[in-house]
Amino acid sequence: MNAPAKIGPLLATVLVAGNMIGSGIYLLPATLATVGGISLWGWVAATAAALCIALALARLAALDPQAGGPCAYAERRFGRYLGFQSYLLYTTLCWAGNLGVAIAAIGYLAALIPGAAIGWHGTTASIALIALLTLLNVQGSRRVCQFDAFTMVAGMLPVVLVATLGWTHFDAALFRQSWNPTALPLRSALPQSLLLVFWAFLGLESASMAAAVVENPKRNIALATIGGVLLAAVLYIAASAAIFGLLPVAALKNSSAPFADATRVLLGPTAAGLVAIAALIKTVGTLSGWILVAAQTGQAAAARGFLPRALERVDHRGVPVRALIVASGFTCLVALLTESPTLAQQFETLVDLSVLLALLVYIYALLTLLSPRHAAKGAVSAISATDAIGATGASGAIGAIGAIGAIGWFYQLCALLGILFCAYVLLSSPAYMLWLLVAMLAITVPVYALWVRPRAARAP
């Protein structure tokens, strides 16, 4: 089997930040317009939670880097059934989420070509875009991450422009009018915004999901995960706050390209067209990165016997071509099944489903950090540290053990806070989405019993 070309810490950080800074920030201002500026509290809460989850996942990657990231940790701690369930949920998340990213890209294309996002035109354009970027992924992971780096530089223009220049045209009176248009109390508005806002943070696990193609994963996955989340969070909050002071809620609700519309207020229609092009480029880059993650997830699941073994195979460049084709094929199928009169309706449905699936996978993974197994690993690290300092004597040894123990408790606290956040958002979700999630979990029981478990029993 050929080994895939590896990516270093910089490209891994680009993969994480690039997978987050895309459809989430570019289309969410329009989706959050129904909640209003009060959704900024959702951004703050989601940022804190994303950092906790990122730190916990980075700790897991340092202790035990695994291809498949959160899904692999769930399997190793809780057994094959929950491992299978995690992989199936994350795979479904990739199918639905990739379509959501494609829809955001077509939304900005519609700012340049009117009518491109309406009905079947939008669905057909989304499928064509997915097919083209699947062909790019066939060229290998390094090529994808290099393309993602280019699109990230080009696509940062609209976000940085609104996050900086937008404040020079900020209308405080308009912001106050947009703060809470439905007059909801914070306890009601916060859950509504969190489910949508956390979509922008999906992808924080990208480096760990693609651990097989990351150099020195024990070090670089942690750096990429934390750096990517911090970079994205700063831009998210600054740009989201500014845009509510540039456009009224009524205009935001009906916008398919809110950053282009905000730039039209700042610099005129010509600049708005350039921003729409930049946003389109960045969203396309985000989609290419997510297609890579979807293929790596499918390949890791196949290697564990959860999907057909044929998906594990790679070509002469180390690219899992079959996993790429199957993942993108199912995304196109989701596009046909969820076709809606407007992209906004289709986008919101996909966002809700993707976030719920991700939150459950995060909970499974973070629970592993609270297990005695990882506490034991921390103890082993402490003993190794005392051996290393040797001549410093007993006081130095005790200090080393105490320092490492404190670090372990810090990561466990991050994991606990991340679990509580995920559980809160799950329980605050619309009832129909929760029932859909329950139905998906129920389906995993007969599939595992009738297909996955017998195949494992027959394996050598």
CA distance 98 to 350: 9
Per-residue pLDDT, 188? 77
Q: State pTM to two decimals.
A: 0.76
Contact call for residues 258 and 65 (beta carbons, < 8 A):
no
SS3 205: coil
Per-residue pLDDT, 380? 41
CA distance 198 to 108: 21
Contact call for residues 259 and 275 (beta carbons, < 8 A):
yes
CATH 3.40.50.1860 fits 9-458, yes or no: no
- Per-residue tokens: 162: 């609104």
Phi-psi region of 459 (alpha: psi -120 to 50; beta: other; left: phi over 0): beta
Task: For residue 366, report the phi and psi dihedrals to the nearest 5 degrees.
Answer: -70, -30
Q: Where are the domains of the chain?
A: 9-458
Per-residue pLDDT, 362? 92
User: Residue 37: which of 155, 156, 164, 173 has the closest Cα?
Assistant: 173
Per DSSP, the residues of 376-439 read: HHHHHHHHHHHHHHGGGHHHHHHHHHHHHHHHHHHHHHHHHHHHHHHHHHHHTS-HHHHHHHHH
Per-residue pLDDT, 456? 62
User: Residue 283: which of 303, 258, 318, 266 has the closest Cα?
Assistant: 258
CA distance 324 to 328: 6
Per-residue pLDDT, 399? 45
- DSSP state, 5? P
Per-residue pLDDT, 378? 47
CA distance 75 to 135: 31
Per DSSP, the residues of 88-127 read: HHHHHHHHHHHHHHHHHHHHHHHTTSTTTTSHHHHHHHHH
User: Residue 200: which of 37, 27, 25, 351 has the closest Cα?
Assistant: 25
CA distance 195 to 359: 10
Per-residue pLDDT, 115? 63
CA distance 165 to 177: 21
Contact call for residues 123 and 339 (beta carbons, < 8 A):
yes
Per-residue pLDDT, 337? 74
User: Residue 155: which of 266, 271, 284 has the closest Cα?
Assistant: 284
CA distance 275 to 261: 9
CA distance 445 to 442: 6
Q: What string of pLDDT tens digits covers the 460 residues of the chain?
A: 455 566 777 777 776 766 677 656 676 787 788 888 888 888 888 889 988 998 888 888 777 777 667 888 888 888 889 989 998 898 888 888 888 788 778 777 877 777 655 566 777 888 888 999 999 888 887 788 788 778 877 777 777 888 888 888 888 888 888 888 877 787 777 877 887 788 778 878 766 666 666 777 777 777 777 888 888 888 888 888 888 888 888 888 877 778 888 888 888 887 778 877 887 888 888 888 888 888 888 888 888 888 888 888 888 777 888 988 998 888 888 777 766 655 556 666 777 788 888 899 999 999 988 866 554 454 444 334 334 444 444 444 444 334 445 567 888 999 999 999 999 989 888 888 889 889 989 998 998 988 888 866 554 4
